[in-house]
Every structure is written in structure tokens, then in C-alpha cells.
A and B are shown apart, each in its own frame.
Chain A
């Protein structure tokens, strides 16, 4: 298995532009998580899905952020419009369950908004 695949690896965009981050989870994993990592705040959970259904999006910072999981093998995190304070590394992770199994993380997308 290739693991959790995220794209793009790096994204540089101008303030106000739309940004879409993509994730392919491990086949057979039924939970998918989007985390944001910054030096100040560490790893923050943005949203998670169970069996393709969004369960908790309370970590999404603003309405500018949205996430979808149209099927078991694909998820997107969209920021529209993007702002400089959105600059961070965004990780997607998948797991066999929400909490009590290990998560497999992707390599992340480093987003820079200028």
C-alpha cells in the first residue's frame, strides 16, 4: 500500500485565491482526519469523517474552510478565499477507527499564502 497520499506537496498562492488540498486515504480505512500544523498551535484537528460522513467540523476555523469526502478513496479541503494566516502544513490521516487505532498520516501539504 502506498500509504496516505496528499497533493500538492507545496502550494504558494496569493491572498484571496481559492486553494484545494487533496487526500487519498488507505484502502479499507473508514475514518479520515484533516489536521493543521503550525509552530504556535501544534497539530489541530480541523474535521473528521467516518464512513465518508462528516462527524465533527468544529475545528474548522472559519466558513472559508470546507471539506468533502465524496467517496471512500478521496477527500478535499478547500479554503476560499485564502488569507496569509492560513499558511501552515495541512495533514490528512486515515485510520480503522476514530480514536483507538493508529493513524497513518500523509506527508502533508505546505501552504503559503502571500
Chain B
């Protein structure tokens, strides 16, 4: 019940395209859903987060879509750029520490 399942493991997208990463969870008590971005040799950094009272949150080119009934949430990166190439982690929590997905390695090619 504490797991967060993330897919795909890796993703290759053309520059200017849309990158989509999906996550699913089981624990209905989760009430905070962040996405983290990690570059090689660095720690994960908070990218964007959503709470279950809204279905979508947008910050620049990054959008989280949240489907409470399906217990799924996804990250959309519009107009993907080579600088977006990184590993992305979804996570979830309630009053307990964040549980992370296994990560998606995104490569944006020109």
C-alpha cells in the first residue's frame, strides 16, 4: 500500500515534443504528490507538486494531471528541451515521509 508505481522506466522524446510520465498509487490516504527532477551527480530537486483537491496544476512547461478515482497522476512536459534530460521521480505522502517511484530517465534529442 505504500508503493508508488512509475512508468515508463525510460523515455526518448524529440525536442519540442511532449513528455508524459505516469504514476499510480494504492494508499488513498496520500494527500501530497510531488515530482522531483534529478540531474547526474546531483540530488533530486522539487519540480512541482499537487494536492488531491485539484485535478491539474501547471507551472511553465510542466503540468501535473491528477485522477483521484483512478489513483493516478502524471507529469507532462510541453515543448521538451534537451536541458530537460534528467531522471524524474514521482512521490506521495500523507503525514509520513515521501515514498518515491523508481524513476524515469528522460532523454530529449534534437
A-B interface pairs (CB < 8 A), number: 53
Check if A99 sits within 8 Å of B94, measured CB to CB: yes
Check if B97 sits within 8 Å of A33, measured CB to CB: yes
Choose one: B31, B46, B94, B100; the contact of A43 (CB below 8 Å).
B100
Check if B96 sits within 8 Å of A98, measured CB to CB: yes
B-to-A contact residues, CB < 8 Å: 31-32, 34, 41-46, 49, 89, 93-103
Known A-B contacts A42-B100, A42-B102, A43-B100; the reply to A100 vs B45 at CB < 8 A is no
Determine the chain A residues whose CB is within 8 A of the CB of B46 once the complex forms: 102-104
For residue A53, CB closer than 8 A to chain B, the reply is no
Which of the candidate stretches A60-68, A73-81, A105-113 sits at the interface with the other chain? A105-113
28 contacts between A and B (CB under 8 A): A31-B97, A33-B97, A42-B89, A42-B101, A42-B103, A43-B44, A43-B89, A43-B100, A48-B97, A56-B97, A91-B43, A91-B44, A93-B43, A98-B95, A98-B97, A99-B32, A99-B96, A99-B97, A99-B98, A100-B32, A100-B93, A100-B94, A102-B34, A102-B46, A105-B43, A105-B44, A106-B43, A108-B43
